[in-house]
Chain A
Amino acid sequence: MLTLTNLTKTYRTGDKALADVSLTFPKGQVVGLIGPSGAGKSTLIRCINRLVEPTSGKITLSGTELTGLPPRALRQQRRRIGMIFQEYALVERLTVMENVLSGRLGYVSFLQSFTRRFPPADIERAYRLLDRVGLMEQADKRADALSGGQRQRVGIARALSQEPELLLVDEPTASLDPKTSRQIMRLLIEICAERSLPAIVNIHDVPLAQQFMQRIIGLRAGRVVFDGPPEALTESVLTTIYGAEDWTAMRKDGEADRAAEAEAVARLAALTA
């Protein structure tokens, strides 16, 4: 269980990214974090594993307070938190296997990681995860040789190889096409369900969030303005989060996209037949 208490982040430029955010994330819940750009979604996620240092407030992960930990203890706590990034953030010039194994860096000595001699259990786990995300054949390819969807699968495998107790997911589908986005989201949700792994997912595609999340939190200008089930995300709530906009039109657009996509797939199938 993760608890945020009065979390505040003010950047040196004076921008208040988070203002007094208090939230509780129970075990096994997949939570979507929505809000306009600059609402503080990314900052919130990065405060949890302290890639961004919060200005004040408290973060507690199943009993351990993360705020104020010294570097060594912080590294030990980071092992418990897997992170999946926008645009994958794989180390492009390393192989897929090295990327997945890099999830184990917190557990092995520098020498072991330098010589790429990971314990057999780690290697077995890495292969199992690559198989789970369907990339068994790509293990020895360089990360930059993969397509967007494949790279994000490697990103997922890397995060899971940490055997995390919490997943932080930052805009996992922002650079993927609609179809691949859905596949990746489905994979993420399945994996979280398999392991009853809680996840916090930044997402700015509202229909996608409604389709996949169990709970949705709306942020606006660093404050929580909505916290509830996806069904409760009505037009007026969306207006509070994003400001006025014709939401029904946007949803129809989404349907049109999907129809166009299905049509394109059918046309392609006809071509290859």
Chain B
Amino acid sequence: MTRFPDTWAFRSPRARLAIWFGWLCLVALFVYCWQVMTANTIWMFIWDAPRQAADIGERMFPPRLSYLPELLIPLWDTLNMATLGTLLGVILAVPIAFLAARNTSPSVLILRPIALFIIVASRSINSLIWALLLVAILGPGLLAGIIAIGLRSIGFIGKLLYEAIEETDIRQIEAVTATGACPAQVLNYGIIPQILPAFWGITVFRWDINIRESAILGLVGAGGLGLKLQASLNVLAWPQVTMILVVILATVVLSEWISAKVRQAII
């Protein structure tokens, strides 16, 4: 009769040692970072913090409801900025996504890296920075905001969309190719039906994010609610600030609800 071992270990001793050492390094790093962080802290401010927070809180409450009518037009501007910016982003991102996806890119060696670079560049710059640049170039106003939102959206939509394109089922595409379809028809019949749900999901998700982002773009002069926020902060009109925050919160909750509904409907 053969004897079989009655012990079995999930990891080799070597792997266990490596994992233990990894955790040790992480703890050491944490301790070091804690020291760096506390070295430059003025503790007096920290002890004071609860009192300061309570003070501002007191001044912020109650929100000034009579300020609401004045916010409606900036709110409309904010929504338009988010929607038009998303639209611009989608229009620019779709061709870039097809250039970036390995299975649809016409030239993997040249165009694909360019498309990937555009996606990375757009993603690495925050919309607030885009807006700052564009306000300097185009002057303050909604247009700068729309373009900033659009440029930032390219990376997000482009990246998620090109991943969706790369995950398409090759057999469905092969089947359409085998009928003698031309490349545009293969795209139309084989690829687009497969990525359409992902496309709508990504677009609505980005629109939802853009509403949140466009609410603050006014801080750098790109119009919308942020402009009001900045004006109120400058004159220390705290009840107005609270009112603006309440409006932003309500808008975001609403947009999140819409985007959840839309995504539910298409999946």
Residues of chain A having any CB pair with chain B under 8 Å: 49, 51, 75-79, 81, 83, 85, 87, 89-94, 98, 102-107, 110, 113-114, 155, 158, 162
Residue pair B189, A79 in contact (C-beta under 8 Å)? no
Partner of A91, one of B176, B180, B197: B176
B91 at the interface (CB under 8 A from A): no
Given the interface contacts A51-B177, A83-B175, A85-B171, does A91 sit within 8 Å of B190 by beta carbon?
yes
Q: List 12 A-B contacts (CB under 8 A).
A: A51-B174, A77-B180, A83-B178, A90-B175, A91-B175, A91-B189, A93-B196, A104-B179, A105-B189, A113-B189, A114-B188, A158-B179
Residues of chain B having any CB pair with chain A under 8 Å: 169, 171-172, 174-182, 184-185, 188-190, 193-194, 196-197
Residue pair A75, B171 in contact (C-beta under 8 Å)? no
Residue pair A113, B185 in contact (C-beta under 8 Å)? yes
- Chain B residues with Cβ under 8 A from A83's Cβ? 175, 178-179
Given the interface contacts A93-B196, A94-B189, A102-B189, does A162 sit within 8 Å of B180 by beta carbon?
yes
CB distance from A217 to the nearest CB of B (A): 21
Given contacts A106-B180, A110-B184, 13 further A-B pairs with CB under 8 A are A49-B178, A75-B180, A85-B175, A89-B169, A89-B175, A91-B176, A92-B172, A94-B193, A105-B182, A110-B182, A113-B181, A113-B188, A162-B180
- Chain B residues with Cβ under 8 A from A102's Cβ? 176, 179, 181, 189
Residue pair A93, B188 in contact (C-beta under 8 Å)? no
- Chain B residues with Cβ under 8 A from A94's Cβ? 189, 193
Residue pair A162, B175 in contact (C-beta under 8 Å)? no
Residue pair A91, B181 in contact (C-beta under 8 Å)? no
Return the chain A residue nearest B178 by Cβ. A83
Return the chain A residue nearest B172 by Cβ. A91
| A110, B185: Cα distance in complex, Å | 6
